[in-house]
Amino acid sequence: MHKAQYTANAASFGKDFWWGVATAAAQNEGAHTADGRGLSIWDVFARRQGKIKGGAKPYDACHFYYRYKEDLMLAKALGFNTFRLSFSWSRLFPMGKGKPNKAGLAFYHQVIDECLKLGLVPFVTLYHWDLPQALEKEGGWAAFHINEWFNHYVRFCAKEYGSKVKHWIVLNEPFGFTSLGYLLGRHAPGKKSLPAFFSAVHHAVLAQADGGNILRTEVHKGHIGTSFSCSAIVPYTQKPEDVAAANRADILFNRLFIEPLLGKGYPKDNFPLLEKLEIHNQAWKYEKRMQCKMDFIGLQNYFPLTIRHNAFIPLVQASEVKAITRKVPHTAMGWEINPDSFHHIIKRFWKYGGIKEIIITENGAAFKDKVEHGVINDTARTAYFSDHLDALLRARHEGVKISGYMAWTLMDNFEWAEGYAARFGLVHVDFKTQLRTIKNSGYWWRDFLTEKQV
């Protein structure tokens, strides 16, 4: 692994850098039926036996709905100047469309006002995976009308909150919710359908551009972006079949959504799956609508992927070689720890051109934290952050315009199909009592961010 060329501290990133923690409504808020909120696809998916570890459900999560003042104060106390949250579409529109929910509207005004009061700049994600169940019944992201519903939701939020919120993220990780939710069935809504996946991908591509253009029109002096999951892809060997498999994986994991946004259309490589996607959606008709000149793109990176050819995997014919089998450093979830790959993927996206700035909208690691005498000494997580910030600083020095970094996440939460077993937080949560305990990694961030600026 490359030895760090730079040792990061907060001052080395400059005074105008966004330092934040990222959160999501479905993972934190709880109160899933409180005050008129409608069900989301995750509320329903969690009922299906065996889909979520430990039978966990997001119904209570971290009680952020009731404890947001305390949790925002924690973010402020740890030294952050930015707070990323998402709106629960079904809290604002219980049926996904139609009449808005006044209590839901008021809640997000209260959260935003509290952020501003504390000096935390709110970055709002409009869609972080929790589609209203009422819309899923009509086909969800695979439905023909999803873009009409989504655009109405975006325009409403922009008009309702745009005088207070200037920083917006349209979609969170579209490859994640389309592939895991509509192709592999591992996430909500749990579908396994290639046609549904094709439709969901195309509609999400249109949604990220439509959403960005709507926000540009409706929010005065808005700072508009959208976020992508990304991973450096490495072939297991240099055999032609492994290299080709890695290229196919790279198209899906890294290129599928960013290239249409930048005006390049869907990737045109010799990959039959892409040809089917193009034909299924008649995508050539939509290339202009797929585009939006964002003010920033959010990159969300946790690990690289090592890929080998696998003839038994349909269509993609590729599979991951797990970090644990290669005996390389990894997190509790088996994700490889490799700051160099973080540096590489940032540089890779910047080289596209047409990107004004990059914000790291998620980065972090889950470990098996132990509470001993009220203390969580999570040295591995602290090392992870320190090494990745060094890599980030190196990219900045090499000419990449990076304007912010958001750690995932403020506190342990409902981690999708992992339930409550995967702990990413800087703050430990006892989910039986909702007691918050700052981990040593949280104190490390406090010291990192509040040391005297020189």
Which residues are designated catalytic?
A: 173, 362
Which residues are CB-neighbours of 411 under 8 A, at least 6 positions away?
Answer: 28, 62, 71, 74, 425, 426, 427, 428, 429, 436
Strands 167-171 and 223-229, bridge-based pairing: parallel
Q: How many CA atoms lie within 13 A of 10 on its CB side?
A: 20
- Rounded distance between C-alpha atoms, residue 339 and residue 392, angstroms: 9
Strand partners, 435: 430
Q: Are 393 and 334 in contact (CB under 8 A)?
A: no
Structure tokens at 28: 């934190």
- Rounded distance between C-alpha atoms, residue 77 and residue 54, angstroms: 33
Structure tokens at 14: 């400059």
DSSP 48: S
- Rounded distance between C-alpha atoms, residue 235 and residue 306, angstroms: 6
Measured in whole angstroms, how far is the alpha carbon of residue 199 from the centre of its chain? 21
Quote the radius of gyration of the chain (alpha carbons, Å): 21
For 109, 241, 316, 337, the CA distances from 246, given in Å and listed in that order, are 45, 9, 10, 19
Residue type, 316: V
**Cβ of 31: how many Cβ atoms within 10 Å?**
17
E-assigned strands of 241-316?
296-300, 305-309
Q: How many CA atoms lie within 13 A of 325 on its CB side?
A: 7
- Rounded distance between C-alpha atoms, residue 329 and residue 282, angstroms: 44
- Rounded distance between C-alpha atoms, residue 93 and residue 153, angstroms: 8
Q: Are 176 and 252 in contact (CB under 8 A)?
A: no
3-state secondary structure of 170: strand
DSSP 3: P
